Each structure stands twice: as C-alpha cells, then as structure tokens.
Amino acid sequence: MRYFLAAAVCLCTTPVLAQVPGAMTDANMTCEQYLAANIPDVKTGDAALDKMSAELDGKIKTWCKANPKAKLMEAAEKALQ
C-alpha cells in the first residue's frame, strides 16, 4: 500500500510540480519554497486531469500554508489521503 501511495503521489503531482525547476529532483524542497514559486495553473488539455490536478494543487497549497517548514512531498502525501 505504501508503494502504491508513493507512485500515486508521483503520478498525480507531476503536472503540478513540473512547473517548478528541480521540484521533482529536490527531495528537500519545502512547502515554503513551493508557495514562493507562485506556480501558474497547469493545463494538459484533458478536462478530467486538469480538474484533478487543480484540486490536488489546492490541497497541497492549503496543507503547505499550515506547515511551511514541511517537505513538499509530505504535503503531496497528505493531500492524497
């Protein structure tokens, strides 16, 4: 189950995090850094994927605002719960 969650986090957050240089390769990126990046909405052309991505990004940002010193990947995990 844990590996499934890790894979789901990576797959679901890729469109969102791909807009931040180094976000997917920097395991130490904090929520504070993510919020400071001020990432624009990601549009893939697939309405369902765009909606899911926007909802996930909203959950991540909400969690990050409450926990700015936490790691971004932790916020992504929490957003998927």
Token duo for residue 6: 């890790």
Segment 34-73, tens digit of pLDDT: 899 887 777 888 899 889 888 988 999 999 999 999 999 9
| Domain spans of the chain, in order of start | 2-79
Enter the pTM of the model.
Answer: 0.65
CA distances 2 to 8, 25, 58, 76, 80, Å, are 10, 20, 23, 14, 12
Q: Which of 43, 40, 36, 35 is nearest to 63 (CA)?
A: 35
User: Angle at CA 4, nearest 5°, toward 29 and 66?
Assistant: 35
Residue 80 near residue 8 (C-beta atoms within 8 A):
yes
